[in-house]
Amino acid sequence: MRYGHSSTCINTRKMVLTPNKLPGTHTPHIFYSGIFDYQKLIKVIAGWFANQGYEFHENVFKHKVPSPSGSEQEFKFSGWRKVTEYVQFWIYVHGHIWEIKEIEVLVDGEKKKMAKGKIKFVFTSDVWLDYNGKFNTPVAVKIQKFLHKHVWHKQITGGWEDECYYRMYKLHRVVKEVLNMSTPTNASEIRY
């Protein structure tokens, strides 16, 4: 059975059993080298989570002492959103920026402080089922197995996973727009 016991759902990324989590989806990356507005980038990511109704968390923020090549920062952001009383979406952003140097750039005739460096972003998402732990007895687990297999199968495989993935991908696209890496249009923007 694909979704098994309430406390054992397979995560295909790591092939480890984890509680109430659906298999992970595709993990988009962004690699960028050049000039960017660091403050705007972080503000847009945090703002996107808030605007989409996610509770935002800054889980990790590391800043290494600058060297002659520049400073280095690593951060991990996450956000969760309750979809139903049974389903919860999680989106994670892991960013690593290195060789950061502050420079002045002429933007629209005005001098503006920007950053120059290399960036790597990794986006992941998870769909958590029964995040409240309501199916925690042996009888409830059997009911949950039945519901996953016969009643909610299409919602699980074709609904919740897809919706969470496309929401994560919208954040991916927004970050690319801030870095001037893509156009503001997208073929899948009408989804969710």
* Backbone dihedral angles phi then psi of residue 28, each to the nearest 5 degrees: -70, 150
Q: What would you measure as the largest C-alpha separation in the chain, in angstroms?
A: 69
Q: Which residues pair with 71 in a beta bridge?
A: 100
> Which domain, by its residues, includes 87?
27-178
Contact 89, 167 (CB under 8 A): yes
**How confident is the model over 145-172, as a mean pLDDT?**
78
- Domain membership flag for residue 161: yes
Confidence at 137, pLDDT banded by 50, 70, 90? confident
Kindly state whether residue 22 falls inside one of the protein's structural domains: no
Residue 6 lies in a domain: no
Location of structure tokens 């998402």: 125
Tell whether 42 is covered by a domain. Answer: yes
Q: What is the pLDDT of residues 68-81, one digit of tens each?
A: 888 999 999 999 99
* C-alpha–C-alpha distance, residues 65 and 154, integer Å: 50
pLDDT for residue 54 is more than 50: yes
Asked whether residue 170 is domain-assigned, the answer is: yes
DSSP assignments along 19-54, one per residue: TTBPPP----EEEEEEEE-HHHHHHHHHHHHHHTTP
More confident residue, 5 or 146: 146
Q: Which residues contact 140 (CB under 8 A, 6 or more apart)?
A: 6, 134
Q: Which of 82, 177, 159, 167 is nearest to 124 (CA)?
A: 167
Is 183's pLDDT higher than 50?
yes
Position 114 in a domain: yes
Instruction: Please give the tally of structural domains in the chain.
Output: 1
User: Any bridge partners for residue 15, and if so which?
Assistant: none
- For 115-132, the pLDDT digits (tens) are 999 999 999 998 888 787
105: which 2 tokens? 């750039």
Give the residue-averaged pLDDT of 91-114: 91
> Please, are residues 46 and 34 in contact by the beta-carbon 8 Å criterion?
no
Q: Which helix (H) or strand (E) holds 142?
A: helix 138-146
How many Å apart are CA 115 and CA 113, to the nearest integer?
7
Q: Does some domain include residue 3? A: no
Whole-Å CA distances, 137 to 2, 5, 24, 144 = 19, 10, 26, 10
Q: How confident is the model at residue 176 (pLDDT cuts 50, 70, 90)?
A: very high
In a domain, 62, yes or no: yes
Q: How confident is the model at residue 187 (pLDDT cuts 50, 70, 90)?
A: low
